[in-house]
Amino acid sequence: MPGKVTRASAVLLFLGALAYTAWVLEVVVRTGLDPVRTYVSELAAADQPLGGLFRATDLAAGLLVLAGAVTGLLATRAAGPPAEPGVPSWARTAPGAGRRPWLLAGWAALALFGAATAVDSRLPLSCAPTTDPECAARETAGLVPATHTAHAVSSSLALTGALLAMVALTVAARRYGLWPPLARTGPVLVALEAAATVWTLAAVAAFEAGKGLWSLGAGQRLQILLVAVWTAVLAVSLAREHPRTPAGDRRDPRDRRDRRRERTRG
């Protein structure tokens, strides 16, 4: 991946990861919502005093991650043959191309995550169902705006994209010998994300069945935090990536310098 493209993608993804953790402001800003029990998306609900702020940060996070992912995807598709030898034929999507399926799938999934997050910010909840019994009753009766259903769909797409991206790009880092920081820490982050996702989904099911909240807010915040941390690790990995010597030009640079000096003397 060209150096300038790599750095651009790294900056965009790192800024996106920061924006995606804007909800931590609830630690210092009074929101009136219990972070252990409430959905993160309730911070951006239409009836919340700081809803506009959190919708704006969600939109920024989605667009930044989308831009970073598309940059990485285009660079991957445009890349020539891989610099390192021994890449098997199954790791390419076209004869003679350096396109690796795990990279393509990972960048595409990350783009889905960014796009769905941006759309999610434009489909806020009208109220906070975990803290407002009337809101919860209206939601159960189907008397809330259609944005509640649309929000659930876009949130599910965002989560799916994030999970697929985490798995695919972590596999790519390890299988293709890329991005050492991600190759080392990615598997742990993926495992923790899977556990947090199970916790969150179980808590949502319990809430919808009227069996309590099961610390839904804590589970979802852990889930979102891990996605942001993984994205930041990917950004750092990209920023540390060094341009490789092109295939076919693997000679020692000192040999090339010696030959140039000999031609000059001649």
Give tens-digit pLDDT for 93-137.
444 345 689 999 999 999 999 999 999 999 999 999 999 999 999
57-76 mean pLDDT: 95
Q: What percent of the chain has pLDDT over 90?
A: 74
Mean pLDDT of 215-236: 97
What is the predicted pLDDT for the residue at 248? Answer: 39
Read off the pLDDT of each residue in 76-83 and give the average, rounded to a whole number: 57
- Kindly state the average pLDDT of the residues 183-205: 97
Q: What is the pLDDT of residue 75?
A: 82
What pLDDT, on a 0 to 100 scale, did the predictor assign at position 251? 45
Asked if pLDDT for residue 244 goes beyond 80, the answer is no
Q: Which of 82, 101, 104, 79 is nearest to 90 (CA)?
A: 101
Residue 221 has pLDDT above 80, yes or no: yes
| pLDDT value of residue 259 | 54
Mean pLDDT of the 38-48 span:
96
Predicted local confidence at residue 242, as pLDDT: 62
Would the pLDDT of 35 be above 60?
Answer: yes
CA distance 127 to 146: 12
pLDDT score at 132 = 93
Mean pLDDT of 157-162: 98
Please tell me which residue, 243 or 124, carries the higher pLDDT value.
Answer: 124
- What is the residue-averaged pLDDT of the chain? 86
Residue 266 pLDDT? 52
Output the pLDDT for position 171: 98
Q: How much is the pLDDT for 249?
A: 41
